[in-house]
């Protein structure tokens, strides 16, 4: 079997790459180890930057996103007994974000690929990459797929990054001493906008998926397990953290999904080796506080598509050679922003009183200085 681009992973990165390549007349095969049902149900983040929405709409997969996605023109920072709105329409006019679940993006992309006769293989076993320097190929479940290039879109725990020979990649990482417990609940959002809350009990985030489904996150210890968090405990803790301003009442409901996400940052450089190109979580992870993970994956894929289109058009390798450098600027900006949002809003056990006062002073600055609020807003909605 032969294709132009062998893609490992049917997350947002792999699926979007396959779709964008198809629009340029470039063939690909997507190999995914999980089932279609599993990837379509996997609940993840849900904040799409303007550039991500534009990419999906221009690629013809934004119809449901435009209909069901929730445009947001601001977020609230809540701390010290008061809420402060970061108003995108005033600080970054014309730019906003859209709340739309990542698994909805995945569903739309799978539907588009299948409608176009795309070759997506689910539940494939033992995917391995070979001969990365030239004439690369993939093996899986006893089959062989020859390709011109391989795209490693297989997430943080995939097989493509570990296949790069030792010593080639530089790795930068940081683990945070806490995790996020995330839930979905069948209840109308208690606020129209996202609320990022800092309290002495820890961070909490109020988000949503639709007019009838809310999404919440709680800062919990790094080793927390969902079994330790029965529904009543989750609601009590969300109340304690979110009902920290006068007049705000949290509406509770049936919890339909619970999960613990580790908080970690990771970058592998360069994002390429020989004929292998890494995109999305396979190359970098950010803590979710800045809502950048999915958006970075989409940005990588945009760059990779242009580079592959040039390569398959006339054999030119300039853009492909510059792929990693072109992506890493944005990746590191997002790393910094995600680190900054995380340290601004979480409680750190080893923080001394001086450090806590600094954190509160910085929050006061961000919510009172237009320049500081603009920095937050322009990073949050996404740099062009
Ligand atoms: N063989 C085949 N498929 C694999 C393998 C493997 N050995 N290992 C992992 N995969 C699949 C996973 O099952 C998953 O479906 O690769 C896919 C990777 O998808 P994601 O983890 O969603 O990564 P990505 O497409 O880069 O999207 C990044 O996902 O984790 C979030 O916050 C992150 O929003 C960001 C987005
Ligand atoms: C979400 O809605 O899942 C969400 C929103 C904002 C974040 C992270 C996750 O920063």
- pLDDT digit string, tens, across residues 19-57: 999 999 999 999 999 999 999 999 999 999 999 999 999
**Which of 155, 136, 121, 119 has its CA nearest to residue 44?**
155
**Which of 374, 315, 369 has its CA nearest to residue 87?**
374
Contacts of 260 (CB under 8 A, 6+ apart): 179, 180, 181, 182, 220, 224, 225, 226
72 given a catalytic annotation: yes
Atom number of ligand 1 nearest to Cα 159: 7
Q: Running DSSP on this structure, what letter comes out for residue 188? A: -
Residues 122, 32 contacting (CB under 8 angstroms): yes
Any bridge partners for residue 8, and if so which?
31, 152
**E strands along the chain, which residues?**
2-8, 28-31, 47-49, 70-72, 74-79, 82-87, 97-99, 119-121, 128-130, 137-140, 143-152, 170-186, 195-199, 202-210, 213-221, 254-269, 272-273, 276-278, 284-285
Contacts of 115 (CB under 8 A, 6+ apart): none
176 given a catalytic annotation: no
CA distances from 70 to 32, 96, 183 (A): 29, 10, 19
**Burial zone of 221 (CB within 10 Å; 0-12 exposed, 13-18 middle, 19+ buried):** middle
Report the Cα 227 to chain-centroid distance in Å: 26
Give residue 123's region: left, alpha or beta (phi > 0; psi -120 to 50).
left
pLDDT average, residue stretch 295-304: 98
pLDDT at 384 over 90: no
Atom number of ligand 1 nearest to Cα 282: 26
pLDDT in tens, 369-381: 999 999 999 999 9
Q: What percent of the chain has pLDDT over 70?
A: 100
pLDDT average, residue stretch 151-179: 98
**Which of 260, 264, 99 has its CA nearest to residue 195?**
99
Q: What gap in Å lies between CA 131 and CA 88, rounded to an integer?
A: 48
pLDDT at 140 over 90: yes
pLDDT at 112 over 90: yes
Crossing angle of the two packed helices 323-345 and 293-314, in degrees rounded to 10: 180
273 given a catalytic annotation: no
Ligand 1 atom 8: the closest Cα is on which residue? Answer: 158
The owner of tokens 């899986």 is 140
Give the lowest-confidence range in 197-201, 338-342, 380-384. Answer: 380-384
pLDDT average, residue stretch 200-206: 97
Residues 123, 157 contacting (CB under 8 angstroms): no
pLDDT average, residue stretch 122-133: 98
Residue 97 beta carbon below 6 angstroms from any ligand 2 atom: no
pLDDT average, residue stretch 198-207: 97
* C-alpha dihedral sign at 342, 347, 348, 351: positive
Residue 155 beta carbon below 6 angstroms from any ligand 2 atom: no
Atom number of ligand 1 nearest to Cα 12: 25
Residues 219, 178 contacting (CB under 8 angstroms): yes
Q: State the pLDDT confidence band at 182, using cuts at 50, 70 and 90.
A: very high
Residue 46 beta carbon below 6 angstroms from any ligand 2 atom: yes
pLDDT at 197: 98
Tokens of 337: 């922003």
pLDDT at 16: 98
**Which of 217, 239, 195, 197 has its CA nearest to residue 81?**
197
CA distances from 330 to 87, 152, 245, 252, 379 (A): 23, 19, 36, 38, 11
């Amino acid at each position: 079997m032969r294709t132009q681009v062998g893609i490992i992973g049917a997350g947002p990165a792999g699926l979007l790459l396959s779709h964008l390549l198809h629009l340029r007349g470039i063939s690909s095969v997507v190999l995914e180890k999980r089932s279609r049902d599993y990837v379509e149900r996997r609940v993840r983040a849900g904040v799409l930057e303007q550039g991500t929405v534009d990419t999906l709409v221009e690629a013809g997969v934004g119809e449901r996103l435009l209909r069901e996605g929730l445009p947001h023109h601001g977020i609230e920072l809540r701390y010290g007994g008061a809420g402060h709105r970061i108003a995108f329409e005033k600080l970054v006019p014309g730019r906003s974000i859209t709340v739309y679940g990542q698994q909805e993006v995945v569903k739309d992309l799978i539907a588009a690929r299948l409608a176009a006769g795309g070759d997506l293989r689910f539940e494939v076993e033992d995917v391995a990459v070979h001969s990365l320097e030239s004439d690369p190929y993939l093996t899986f479940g006893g089959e062989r797929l020859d390709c011109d290039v391989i795209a490693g879109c297989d997430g943080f725990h995939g097989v493509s990054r570990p296949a790069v020979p030792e010593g080639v990649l530089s790795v930068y990482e940081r683990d945070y001493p806490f995790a996020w417990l995330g839930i979905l609940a069948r209840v109308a959002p208690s606020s129209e906008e996202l609320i990022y809350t800092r309290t002495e009990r820890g961070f909490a985030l109020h988000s949503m998926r639709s007019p009838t489904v809310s999404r919440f996150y709680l800062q919990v210890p790094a080793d927390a397990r969902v079994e330790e968090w029965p529904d009543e405990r989750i609601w009590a803790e969300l109340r304690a953290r979110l009902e920290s301003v006068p007049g705000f009442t949290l509406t509770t409901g049936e919890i339909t999904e619970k999960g613990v996400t580790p908080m970690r940052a990771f970058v592998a450089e360069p994002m390429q080796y020989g004929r292998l190109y890494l995109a999305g979580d396979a190359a970098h992870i950010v803590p979710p506080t800045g809502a950048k993970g999915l958006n970075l994956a989409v940005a990588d894929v945009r760059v990779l598509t242009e580079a592959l289109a040039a390569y398959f058009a006339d054999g030119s390798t300039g853009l492909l050679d510059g792929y990693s450098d072109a992506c890493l600027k944005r990746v590191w900006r997002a790393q910094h922003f995600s680190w900054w949002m995380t340290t601004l809003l979480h409680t750190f056990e080893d923080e001394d009183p001086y450090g806590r006062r600094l954190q509160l002073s910085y929050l006061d600055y961000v919510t009172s200085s237009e320049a500081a609020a603009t920095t937050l807003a322009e990073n949050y909605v996404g740099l062009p």
